[in-house]
Chains A and B, each alone.
Chain A
Amino acid sequence: MNLVHRGRWITLLGLVLLALVYVRALAFTPVERFQGPAQKIFYVHVPAAWSAMLAMGLVGVCSILYLMLKDARFDRFAAASAEVGTAFSLVMLTTGPIWAKPIWGTWWTWDARLTLTLFLFFLFIGYLLLRGAVGDPGLRARYSAVLGICGLLLLPFIHLSVYLFRTLHPEPIVLKPSSPSLPESMLTTLLFSFGVFTLLYLGFVIQRYALSLLQEERGGSHG
């Protein structure tokens, strides 16, 4: 099975499992007493944020490896991960305000966590625009690697922003030093969703990487 088909099957499996996440969240996970059904947005918002940060993390790591080893595979993977990360950031930035409206009474507020995640989205967009704007493959890989490393440096600030600044955004409930502060049924749904979003990331990134390879084989530029 070639890379494109492998990616397609993983993506298809991920989308079927996403439907099961919805079923589990709607039918088998209790409604939170203070936030109501809107709290269940959390089961897609948090894993989407995780996938976006995973994507940018891998863009950064591959960028460092590219600058050290000059291996085009790292540049190709970074480009694939950046595009996939843009899709997950869009999910994060769409579902966040939809949750915020009934809970905070506003769609958006310029607090540290929200502003930094918006900045992450703009970094993804900037990365893709930069790749589209530079024609020479060597220069494009080098310039975008620098931007990718900037994205990697942003990640700890996003994660720690709820501790470092006064912010409305809830603190982490799973990725923190102490044990997760969530009832078991909610935690199971959340962890299942984390797994499904990670699988979707994998399926998307394999397909996007294969697309770049195909474009290069046909003499085009992978962008």
Chain B
Amino acid sequence: MAEVPQNAEYMVAAYVATAVILVGYAWSLYRRTTKL
């Protein structure tokens, strides 16, 4: 049986990128609504 590919670093990179974009956007909305 073929071995399971070892590519967890791609999964980690994608999860980090997702969190950075979504938390960053949430932060941007928070800043903009607080300023007004």
Residues of A close to B22: CB separation below 8 A: 15, 18, 87, 91, 200
Task: List residues 15-65 of chain A with CB under 8 A from any CB of chain B.
Answer: 15, 18, 22, 31, 33-38, 40-41, 44-45, 48
Cross-chain contact B21 with A87 (CB below 8 angstroms): yes
A127-135, A164-172, A210-218 - the one binding chain B: A210-218
Interface range for A: 35 or more
Cross-chain contact A37 with B30 (CB below 8 angstroms): no
Contacting residue for B33 out of A12, A91, A214, CB 8 A? A214
Cross-chain contact A207 with B18 (CB below 8 angstroms): no
Residues of B close to A11: CB separation below 8 A: 26, 29
Q: How far is the CA of A212 from the CA of B31 in the complex (A)?
A: 14
Q: How far is the CA of A31 from the CA of B6 in the complex (A)?
A: 11
The verdict on A98 contacting B8 (CB below 8 Å), with A11-B29, A87-B25 known, is: no
**Is chain A's binding surface mostly helix, strand, loop or mixed?**
helix
Residues of A close to B17: CB separation below 8 A: 91, 94-95, 98
Contacting residue for A37 out of B11, B18, B29, B32, CB 8 A? B11
Cross-chain contact A210 with B33 (CB below 8 angstroms): yes
Interface size on B, residues (CB 8 A): 24
Query: How far does the Cβ of A37 sit from chain B's closest Cβ, in whole Å?
Result: 4
Contacting residue for B21 out of A37, A90, A211, CB 8 A? A90
Task: List residues 1-36 of chain B with CB under 8 A from any CB of chain A.
Answer: 2, 4-8, 10-11, 13-15, 17-19, 21-23, 25-26, 29-30, 32-33, 36
Q: How far is the CA of A48 from the CA of B25 in the complex (A)?
A: 14
A8 interfacial contact with B, CB 8 Å: yes
Cross-chain contact B4 with A95 (CB below 8 angstroms): no
Cross-chain contact B4 with A31 (CB below 8 angstroms): yes
A101 interfacial contact with B, CB 8 Å: yes
- By beta carbon, the residue of chain A nearest B23 is A15
Q: How far is the CA of A203 from the CA of B11 in the complex (A)?
A: 26
Query: How far does the Cβ of B18 sit from chain A's closest Cβ, in whole Å?
Result: 5
Residues of A close to B7: CB separation below 8 A: 35-38, 102
> 4 tightest A-B contacts by CB?
A36-B5, A37-B8, A102-B7, A41-B14
